[in-house]
Amino acid sequence: MPTIASQEAFEAAKMVIPGGVDSPVRAFKSVGTTPLFIQKGEGAYLVDVDGNRYVDYVQSWGPLIFGHADETIEKSVIEAVKKGLSFGAPTLAETALATEIVTLLDAVEKVRFVSSGTEAVMSAIRLARGYTGRDDIIKFKGCYHGHSDSLLVQAGSGAATFGHPSSPGVPADLTKHTLLATYNDIASVEACFAQSSNIAAIIIEPIAGNMGLVPADKEFLVALRSLCDKHGALLIFDEVMSGFRADLRGAQGLVGTVPDLVTLGKVIGGGMPVGAFGGKKAIMDMLSPDGAVYQAGTLSGNPVAMAAGLASVQKLKQNGQIYAVLQARATRLMEGFKAAATQHGIALQIDVRGSMFGFFFTDKKVRNFDDALTSDTALFAKFHTGMLAKGFYFACSQFETGFISTAITDSMIEDTIAAAQSVFATIKGA
């Protein structure tokens, strides 16, 4: 299929935008091809500037559970736009969406809206530090929580080593307060507490989606809850990706462990830029203007984003059965990939949580980031390119998660499996 217009668009973008993209993963570098420039989305499909159509398994990295240009959400956005784009003042839509979130999530008694997942996490950590009066935090290698300074760290030499900056421009004085542990390894977390008595919080993706799909063990989350209670630290669930995606009640609804704070994004904006953080009243009341922990944002609670998010969440509440349907489709897709890969002698690990799915080209079960790094990324790149050529759009990195929308039908799933079968055969025959 021709991609000349996308190639020309990319060259033009590189002249005025660093790397030609506004988020690094979009550059398609890890799969060695040119990014596709998208003209529009239609239900299950993306249409690029060359007119090619792709079944979309990225869905704007998660929020579009009902697919592109959903009629209900689109109508709500249009009605909101007619009244104005932004006011810098409170609106009823903020309270309405906040009420839905508080009603659905056990961990949340109050919530504050921001404009992105990065901002939500940054604010939640500041709040945790303010509430506990402590400086250190524990994060897990392979979990991504946005690009704020204290969270851009790489692993040190030991399980409980203080972090070092993984990006120029991030002062070591900030990341020295971030301790790194290994996902699904409680001993590494205990080592962190042994090293520091100044830990304010543990932050974790209960369903990790940024090292590929890697769910936390239920027993591991229970143990984290126990350690936090024992040491007076807060437990933060980063559900920017999984909140309302994996389940109507988020990952919390699947695992049963209740955190102290939760960060949200993506789905609660219905595709619009939005984030949120929430928790128990005693913690949230530490925020300004009631408390001393400062956080603000001119576009926080933007009325258009609130309208989209409210329409999305309410539609999810009215159609709660879709989670089982989407999980069944995601499971069929992954089992189909597994069978096709096995037939051609290709090692593949798969996993599904609700409408989220992931696969790794490795013979090792993936429970943490080190396991994920055993994946054959060159093989993934070949697979990605082959599937794209057949009209199936997957995340352009081995270390990202895939998503099913209600617009993706059973027949589309079968077509995708058939395409994968063909691509695997080509790869093995090359």
- DSSP H/E element including 392: strand 392-393
29 is annotated as an active-site residue: no
Query: Which residues, including other chains, have CB under 8 Å from residue 319's CB and lie 6 or more apart?
Result: none
Give the pair of three-digit tokens for residue 299.
């576009």
Q: Which of 54, 57, 131, 144 is catalytic?
A: 144
Query: Which residues, including other chains, have CB under 8 Å from residue 12's CB and lie 6 or more apart?
Result: none
- The position carrying tokens 């994946």 is 375
In angstroms, the CA 262 to CA 236 distance is 6
In angstroms, the CA 34 to CA 9 distance is 10
On whether the CB atoms of residues 242 and 349 are closer than 8 A, the answer is: no
Task: Assign residue 347 a region (left: φ > 0; alpha: ψ between -120 and 50; beta: otherwise).
Answer: beta
82 is annotated as an active-site residue: no
Q: 240: closest CA among 202, 287, 206, 212?
A: 206
Q: Which of 48, 238, 351, 371 is catalytic?
A: 238
280 is annotated as an active-site residue: no
Q: Which of 266, 323, 351, 382 is catalytic?
A: 266
3-state secondary structure of 325: helix
Give the pair of three-digit tokens for residue 155.
């692993």
In angstroms, the CA 115 to CA 96 distance is 17
Catalytic residues: 144, 238, 266
